[in-house]
Amino acid sequence: MDKIKASDYIVEFLIKKGITDVFGYPGGMVTHLMDSLDKYSHSIRTHLNYHEQASAMAACGWAEMMGKPGVAYATSGPGATNLLTGIACAYYDSIPSIFLTGQVNTYEQKTYQGGRQKGFQETDIVSMATPITKMAKMVKSADDLPKTLELAYQTAMEGRRGPVLLDIPMNVSREYILKGRINEVVEQTQESNRSCAKLDKSVDRILEKLQKSYRPVLLAGHGVALSNMQGVFRQLVDTLQIPVVSSMIAVDVLPSSSVYSYGMIGAYGVRWANYILNHSDCILSLGSRLDCRQTGVNTNLFAPDASLLRIDIDSGEFENQISEKEEQFCFDLSSFLPKLLKNAKNYTWNYRAWNNACNSVRTLLRQAETLEEGNNAIREISEVIPGGTCVTTDVGQNQVWVAQSFKVKEQQRLLFCGGHGAMGYSLPSAIGAALASGKMTVAIMGDGGLQMNLQELEFVAREQLPIKIIVINNRALGMIHHFQEMYFGSNYVQTDDKKGYTVPDCMQIAQAYGLRNVEYQSADQISQYFKDDKPVVIEVRLSQQTHVFPKLGMNKPIDDQEPPLSDDLRKRIRDILKEA
């Protein structure tokens, strides 16, 4: 009977699923997989990162752009544990991904209770990864591989998407599978059988609530992009003509030029977005977790006059009830939004007074705001970044400045590390995104985030990827530096060069990796670098005392951010919104 080597089967499986790129780092327990990937290099590309964490994050960037699982591999022990931060990023942001770890031979594994380890680099990665994956499993026999791989793919893609991990002992990867066993039927996962029988009734209920409201708001979450419903969402906005606000990782749901786009809400949200949301009478939340960064800690102060209609694919999120006037609907946006759009066209929608009021508030607050230098730099740079590009961000002040001030153009994607908030995410995720799209990608990071995965500059240089690397350098760990200024008497322990944190010369680093480099002076000065497909490092130097404002204080409503507005301006805003 015909047979196929297990590692070859893994690669053939990935190719059949449309996976074109795999990220990883060499190790003894994955040598068979590496050899098989090379054997099929005409159909699938293997990319060597310089740290397994970066491989996992690159897989995340690739998955977000492609809408199918990103794939990364690592050897046993430290290789596998180095993947965990990237796996957590995928889990908390619902990014479909498949992580393949090598493991010591089954006959070298510890089978007794005493002792810690038998085989060299033997580590129970399955137990470690279980809390941050949808499925983590060791494949103990090559004959189990076909069914397990299919189940892993389904699990990553169905329902609320996320990562899976398969731990494959070395002797299993070199075994052969009888082809007659490959065609076993894989049972559908429980999530795929979920019924949407109540969809019609729920859609009608929601449209009736919107019809009766005077000050409705659409709150867009990351679920819109994860369900590949951006186009349908934009048609819905044009139909309903309702103001749109978003979570941080959904700020690209509408271009900034849209008259209905008001930006990010929450603790670091745009002031006018927070005011509009908190004075609405009906909120339709689409695929957003509504975590405390969005609502504020005291949820009793969150949109107190609004009925809240929550649409989410994961019923578990509803356990975090936000409002007594909350209605919960468990649907996949890929089925819900087309139905909502279709039925909405049967109604007449007119929120002219509300839209005028929202626009007036935005105009007032724009006139009153004083932008931080980080916000100004991001706004200026965003002007020269072409439409259709992908922009990745890191974590810290640079991330918030992007979410607050980046002017989103048509067909642009902004990728964030939202729930897990891992520094060092921007550069490797940009690598994955660039390889997925084949287009220019922009990686924005702080000086701290750059040093977390600095080694991946060699990947960019080696492959000459069209990645524009923007380093926002204030020579400090800015977000914590700001906290220390506010709450610790400006004791900047371990966050600036007077207390232990230092920054190397970014220009010399770029030169060491053979990359073009330039210090930012103006948007016009750097515009030339966005007209070619060559990588470049652009350093934006800021003062050390940088801040993120507006910022929400503890136990305050989201429209009462610091620094506080004058009493007169607050009254004018509230009067405008209440009269709509």
Model confidence over 34-62: pLDDT tens digits? 999 999 999 999 999 999 999 999 999 99
C-alpha span between 535 and 532 (Å, rounded)? 9
Give yes or no for residue 191 having a pLDDT over 60. Answer: no
pLDDT higher at 105 or 320: 320
CB 261 within 8 A of CB 244: yes
Could you tell me whether strands 45-48 and 21-24 are parallel, antiparallel, or unpaired per DSSP bridges? Answer: parallel
Could you tell me whether strands 551-552 and 561-562 are parallel, antiparallel, or unpaired per DSSP bridges? Answer: antiparallel
Q: What are phi and psi of 289, to 5 degrees?
A: -70, -20
Q: How many CA atoms lie within 13 A of 158 on its CB side?
A: 14
Q: What pLDDT shows up at residue 179?
A: 78
Helical ranges in 67-198 per DSSP H: 78-82, 84-92, 125-129, 145-157, 170-173
pLDDT higher at 553 or 318: 318
Q: What pLDDT shows up at residue 454?
A: 97
The token duo for 427 is 């550069």
Give yes or no for residue 218 having a pLDDT over 60. Answer: yes
Model confidence over 143-162: pLDDT tens digits? 999 999 999 999 999 999 99
pLDDT higher at 477 or 180: 477
Q: In a 10 Å sphere around its CB, with 0-12 CB exposed, 13-18 middle and 19+ buried, how is residue 379 labelled? A: middle
Q: What are phi and psi of 414, to 5 degrees?
A: -115, 120
Q: What pLDDT shows up at residue 196?
A: 46
Q: What pLDDT shows up at residue 194?
A: 42
Beta bridge partners of 359: none
Structure letter (DSSP) for residue 554: T
C-alpha span between 446 and 539 (Å, rounded)? 10
Q: Which amino acid is at 321?
A: Q
Three-point CA angle 271, 277, 280, nearest 5°: 140
Q: What pLDDT shows up at residue 183?
A: 64
Work out the pLDDT band at 181, boundaries 50, 70, 90. Answer: low
Work out the pLDDT band at 189, boundaries 50, 70, 90. Answer: very low
Model confidence over 75-132: pLDDT tens digits? 999 999 999 999 999 999 999 999 999 998 888 888 887 888 878 888 999 999 999 9
Q: In a 10 Å sphere around its CB, with 0-12 CB exposed, 13-18 middle and 19+ buried, how is residue 521 labelled? A: exposed
H or E stretch including 36?
helix 31-39
Give yes or no for residue 442 having a pLDDT over 90. Answer: yes
C-alpha span between 512 and 226 (Å, rounded)? 38
Q: Dihedral angle at the C-alpha atoms of 282, 161, 74, 536, nearest 10 degrees? A: -50
Average pLDDT over residues 570-577: 94
CB 184 within 8 A of CB 147: yes
Q: What pLDDT shows up at residue 195?
A: 46
Average pLDDT over residues 188-214: 76
Q: In a 10 Å sphere around its CB, with 0-12 CB exposed, 13-18 middle and 19+ buried, how is residue 381 labelled? A: buried
Work out the pLDDT band at 185, boundaries 50, 70, 90. Answer: very low
Give yes or no for residue 180 having a pLDDT over 90. Answer: no
Report the share of the chain in percent with pLDDT over 90: 91
Model confidence over 273-294: pLDDT tens digits? 999 999 999 999 999 999 999 9
Give yes or no for residue 166 having a pLDDT over 70. Answer: yes
C-alpha span between 365 and 380 (Å, rounded)? 19
Return the HEC string of 205-230: HHHHHHHHCCCEEEEECCHHHHCCCH
Structure letter (DSSP) for residue 141: -
Question: Is pTM beyond 0.85 here?
Answer: yes
